[in-house]
Protein backbone atom coordinates (compact mmCIF):
# COMPACT_ATOMS: atom_id res chain seq x y z
CA UNK A 1 0.00 0.00 0.00
CA UNK A 2 1.29 3.44 -0.93
CA UNK A 3 0.00 5.39 2.09
CA UNK A 4 2.28 3.99 4.80
CA UNK A 5 5.27 4.39 2.45
CA UNK A 6 4.45 8.06 1.86
CA UNK A 7 4.07 8.54 5.60
CA UNK A 8 7.40 6.84 6.32
CA UNK A 9 9.20 8.92 3.71
CA UNK A 10 7.56 12.09 5.04
CA UNK A 11 8.65 11.30 8.60
CA UNK A 12 12.19 10.43 7.44
CA UNK A 13 12.37 13.89 5.93
CA UNK A 14 10.92 15.45 9.09
CA UNK A 15 7.99 16.99 7.23
CA UNK A 16 4.56 17.60 8.69
CA UNK A 17 1.52 16.44 6.76
CA UNK A 18 0.65 20.05 6.10
CA UNK A 19 4.12 20.88 4.76
CA UNK A 20 4.14 17.89 2.40
CA UNK A 21 0.58 18.55 1.30
CA UNK A 22 1.39 22.19 0.52
CA UNK A 23 4.53 21.25 -1.42
CA UNK A 24 2.68 18.56 -3.36
CA UNK A 25 -0.35 20.79 -4.01
CA UNK A 26 -2.81 18.38 -2.37
CA UNK A 27 -5.01 19.01 0.62
CA UNK A 28 -3.77 17.91 4.03
CA UNK A 29 -7.04 15.95 4.37
CA UNK A 30 -6.27 14.06 1.18
CA UNK A 31 -2.73 13.31 2.36
CA UNK A 32 -4.03 12.14 5.73
CA UNK A 33 -6.48 9.75 4.06
CA UNK A 34 -3.77 8.52 1.69
CA UNK A 35 -1.37 7.81 4.56
CA UNK A 36 -4.10 5.92 6.44
CA UNK A 37 -4.73 3.71 3.42
CA UNK A 38 -8.15 5.08 2.52
CA UNK A 39 -6.88 5.92 -0.98
CA UNK A 40 -5.18 2.83 -2.34
CA UNK A 41 -4.37 3.87 -5.92
CA UNK A 42 -3.90 7.61 -6.31
CA UNK A 43 -3.36 8.94 -9.81
CA UNK A 44 0.07 9.13 -11.38
CA UNK A 45 -0.23 12.92 -11.36
CA UNK A 46 -0.82 13.07 -7.59
CA UNK A 47 1.96 10.57 -6.85
CA UNK A 48 4.28 12.51 -9.12
CA UNK A 49 3.62 15.72 -7.15
CA UNK A 50 4.08 13.90 -3.84
CA UNK A 51 7.32 12.32 -5.08
CA UNK A 52 8.58 15.73 -6.18
CA UNK A 53 7.75 17.20 -2.79
CA UNK A 54 9.65 14.31 -1.19
CA UNK A 55 12.56 15.06 -3.54
CA UNK A 56 12.52 11.68 -5.25
CA UNK A 57 11.65 10.27 -8.66
CA UNK A 58 8.08 9.13 -9.14
CA UNK A 59 9.31 5.69 -10.24
CA UNK A 60 11.25 5.35 -6.97
CA UNK A 61 8.09 6.08 -5.00
CA UNK A 62 6.21 3.38 -6.92
CA UNK A 63 9.07 0.94 -6.31
CA UNK A 64 9.25 1.78 -2.59
CA UNK A 65 5.54 1.00 -2.33
CA UNK A 66 5.90 -2.30 -4.20
CA UNK A 67 3.82 -0.91 -7.06
CA UNK A 68 6.50 -1.04 -9.74
CA UNK A 69 4.18 -3.11 -11.95
CA UNK A 70 2.03 0.03 -12.33
CA UNK A 71 4.80 2.43 -13.34
CA UNK A 72 4.64 1.89 -17.08
CA UNK A 73 0.88 1.85 -17.16
CA UNK A 74 0.62 5.03 -15.12
CA UNK A 75 3.38 7.15 -16.66
CA UNK A 76 1.88 9.06 -19.61
CA UNK A 77 5.31 9.88 -21.06
CA UNK A 78 5.67 6.25 -22.10
CA UNK A 79 2.51 6.10 -24.24
CA UNK A 80 4.48 6.56 -27.50
CA UNK A 81 6.79 3.68 -26.50
CA UNK A 82 3.84 1.30 -26.09
CA UNK A 83 1.78 2.50 -29.05
CA UNK A 84 3.20 -0.06 -31.55
CA UNK A 85 2.26 -2.86 -29.14
CA UNK A 86 -1.16 -1.61 -28.10
CA UNK A 87 -3.20 -4.13 -30.11
CA UNK A 88 -1.26 -7.17 -28.90
CA UNK A 89 -1.05 -5.95 -25.30
CA UNK A 90 -4.80 -5.31 -25.14
CA UNK A 91 -5.41 -9.01 -25.81
CA UNK A 92 -3.47 -10.04 -22.70
CA UNK A 93 -4.72 -10.29 -19.11
CA UNK A 94 -4.17 -7.05 -17.17
CA UNK A 95 -1.44 -8.48 -14.90
CA UNK A 96 0.55 -9.82 -17.89
CA UNK A 97 0.20 -6.43 -19.60
CA UNK A 98 1.53 -4.68 -16.51
CA UNK A 99 4.54 -6.99 -16.25
CA UNK A 100 5.44 -6.55 -19.92
CA UNK A 101 5.00 -2.78 -19.80
CA UNK A 102 7.13 -2.52 -16.69
CA UNK A 103 9.93 -4.52 -18.31
CA UNK A 104 9.78 -2.43 -21.49
CA UNK A 105 9.97 0.74 -19.41
CA UNK A 106 12.88 -0.64 -17.36
CA UNK A 107 14.81 -1.56 -20.51
CA UNK A 108 14.05 1.83 -22.08
CA UNK A 109 15.31 3.64 -18.98
CA UNK A 110 18.46 1.50 -18.79
CA UNK A 111 19.22 2.05 -22.47
CA UNK A 112 18.71 5.80 -22.22
CA UNK A 113 20.31 6.22 -18.81
CA UNK A 114 17.36 8.35 -17.71
CA UNK A 115 14.92 7.90 -14.80
CA UNK A 116 12.21 10.29 -16.04
- The yes-or-no verdict on residue 45 having pLDDT over 60 is yes
The radius of gyration computed from the CA coordinates of the chain, to the nearest angstrom, equals 15
pLDDT score of 20: 97
CA distance 96 to 113: 25
- State pLDDT tens for residues 9-20: 999 999 999 999
Structure confidence by residue, pLDDT tens digits, 83-109: 777 778 778 887 787 778 777 777 777
Amino acid sequence: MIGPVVKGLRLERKLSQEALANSAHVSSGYLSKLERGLYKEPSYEVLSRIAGALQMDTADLYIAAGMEHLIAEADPTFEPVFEPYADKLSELPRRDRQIIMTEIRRIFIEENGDAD
